[in-house]
Amino acid sequence: MSYLYYPGCSLKSTGRAYEESMLAVFEHLQLPLEELEDWNCCGATAYMAISELKAFALSARNFALAEKQAGGAGEINMVVPCAACYLGLNKAYRYLKEHADLQKTILKALKAAGLSYSDHLRIRHPLDILANDISPDRIKEAVSRPLEGLKVACYYGCQIVRPYADFDDQHEPVIMDKLLRLLGAEVVDWPLKTRCCGGSLTGTVEDVGLRLSYILLKEAKKRGCDVIATACPLCQFNLECYQSQIGRKYGNGNDIAVAYFTQLMGAAFGIAEHDLGLQRLFVPLHLQGTGDKVTGGQYVSR
Amino acid sequence: MEKWKGWRKMRYEAELDPDFSREIASIPGGDQLYSCIQCGTCSGMCPLSPNMDYTPRQIIAMIRAGFKGDVLSSYTTWLCASCYSCTVECPKEIKITDIMYAAKRLAIREKVHPKRFPTPVLAREFFRSVEKNGRSTESRLLVNLYLRTNPFKMFKQTGLGLKLWMKGRLGIRKESIKRTGELRKIFKVLETEHMVKTKDQLARQEEVSS
């Protein structure tokens, strides 16, 4: 089974570490990935507030490109790591399937550009693939530096599991917990798994956004965790890059590492820290048990 | 003397717009709006409701009653972070997040959204960039946002921007797809169509079908 990789805008800029670590982990597990050629914006969140039809058309163009690139090879798996893109594409795919008149309009628009798509595409999140397409044993086998003693809070963020995903429970997702336990990490009990981090509000209505991120950080700290594992570039950005601002405002220290779950997986697999983008983190990640201290801070050239 | 804040804004029947709920309900699955039992689960689940001028439950009730002006000019829809917790928890399976989106789009089209509030500005800038290049460039998006809302804030955030750049996490180069012509052709077909129908469009649609 091969996978088509849809990066989305974030994974090429603020979320670069996510892309690097995900590609490294997929390669390590011998899952072949191919980037979708000439992909465009998924049309999520901010875009949908202006025109939903155009947002759906943007998603549909990606579907058409994917089918073209896969060359009609049975079922196509599109890997979408960004939570907002995952939700946007998944929503569009379902809506177009369920509402015939909507699909007609969008197909008409695609036709004007010489594109079309049928429906043998599956929009998948890397969490879904790593937990369901390969056996737990294979992940266990790949672990060479278990994350023993590392206390992790698994933070799914709001948009991965609800409301259109079907790979995990919408209220109490467990897939990342299971995955990280396989790596030897200690997963703390953490009820804020899917609570909103503030999304883009942190950049727009700062007072409101920062408070939401603060609630998450405070609770993580209270439960004594060393690192928050995320699966969304915006969640990671909010929780990590605004940590010092939040600290200044609420008097909460800024010392909790926030890493992508793929970075933690890669670290457990013994992949070099530079290949996982660990040097891009603002708050350095301390991997206990291995004696390693992964530091941030050095200049990274593009 | 400061005015006592206890008085609620009053509306007379004649000020309401009875067609408003039909406009919002014109989105796919929007009919569910009428099955709302006003239980308040959405407001309870919403992490932003303490910051909103009307809670999600109130917004649904106001849409159904026809408080068009108040709903479209409120901050509520623009504070919605689309985390979908209301949609997931609603016992009547109302797509509340989508209704918020419908209200946002109608507010933008009728130009009644709160002026200079950063979220509609962000949405518009994002839209503009994607319309032109097919992708958004995060750094440019933020600069445009601050220029149009609060230029002072840009200076406040320079430190963060610099730090991101040092870590290789902020590109300055403009992102774009190669075949922008394809997008333009697609958009041209959709230019005149909208999922949220305005009152006039609804009336016209009815004429055609009858």
In tens, the pLDDT along B55-74 reads 999 999 999 999 999 999 99
What value does the mean pLDDT of chain A take? 88
Summarize the confidence of residues A111-120 as an average pLDDT. Answer: 88
Q: Which residue of B has its CA nearest to A233?
A: B169
CB atoms within 10 A of CB B203: 12
Q: Could you tell me the two tokens for B97?
A: 């997040």
For residue B51, list chain A residues with Cβ-Cβ distance below 8 A. Answer: 205, 208
Summarize the confidence of residues B169-179 as an average pLDDT. Answer: 87
Apex A248 CA angle, A242 and A253, nearest 5: 80
A4 bridge partner residues: A34, A78
- pTM for the model: 0.91
Summarize the confidence of residues A149-177 as an average pLDDT. Answer: 89
Q: What is residue B8's predicted lDDT score, i.e. its pLDDT?
A: 73
Q: How many angstroms separate the CA of residue A138 from the nearest CA in chain B?
A: 32
pLDDT exceeds 90 at position B199: no
Task: Extract long-range pairs of A98-106: CB within 8 Å, 24+ residues apart.
Answer: A98/B28, A99/B28, A102/A56, A102/B28, A102/B195, A105/A53, A105/B190, A105/B193, A106/A53, A106/A56, A106/A57, A106/A60
Summarize the confidence of residues A226-231 as an average pLDDT. Answer: 94
Q: What percent of chain B has pLDDT over 70?
A: 99
Quickly state the pLDDT bin for A19 (edges 50, 70, 90). Answer: very high
Summarize the confidence of residues A201-213 as an average pLDDT. Answer: 90
Summarize the confidence of residues B142-148 as an average pLDDT. Answer: 87
Amino acid in the structure at residue B190: L
Quickly state the pLDDT bin for A301 (edges 50, 70, 90). Answer: very low
CB-nearest to B84 from A58, A98, A159 is A159
How far is C-alpha A91 from the chain's CA centre? 16
Q: Which residue has the higher pLDDT, A19 or B142?
A: A19
- The reply to whether residue B195 touches residue A13, judged by beta carbons under 8 angstroms, is no
Q: Could you tell me the two tokens for B195?
A: 């999922």
Quickly state the pLDDT bin for A119 (edges 50, 70, 90). Answer: confident
For the stretch A169-189, pLDDT in tens is: 888 899 999 999 999 999 999
Quickly state the pLDDT bin for B89 (edges 50, 70, 90). Answer: very high
Quickly state the pLDDT bin for A73 (edges 50, 70, 90). Answer: low
Quickly state the pLDDT bin for A291 (edges 50, 70, 90). Answer: very low
Summarize the confidence of residues A155-171 as an average pLDDT. Answer: 87
3-class DSSP state for residue A122? strand
pLDDT exceeds 60 at position A295: no
Q: How many angstroms separate the CA of residue A253 from the nearest CA in chain B?
A: 18
- The reply to whether residue A108 touches residue B142, judged by beta carbons under 8 angstroms, is no
Which of B24, B31, B169 has the most A C-beta neighbours within 10 Å, making it the best mutation to test the interface with A? B169
For residue B175, list chain A residues with Cβ-Cβ distance below 8 A. Answer: 9, 12
Place of tokens 């029947």: B13
Q: Do the strands A285-287 and A292-294 form a parallel or antiparallel pair, or are they unpaired?
A: antiparallel
A215 bridge partner residues: none
Q: Is the dihedral of CA A221, A227, A232, A237 positive or negative?
A: positive
Summarize the confidence of residues B18-43 as an average pLDDT. Answer: 93
Q: How many helical (H) and strand (E) elements, i.e. helices and strands, does chain A have?
A: 12, 10
CB atoms within 10 A of CB B165: 16
For residue A208, list chain B residues with Cβ-Cβ distance below 8 A. Answer: 48, 51, 79
Q: What is residue B2's predicted lDDT score, i.e. its pLDDT?
A: 67
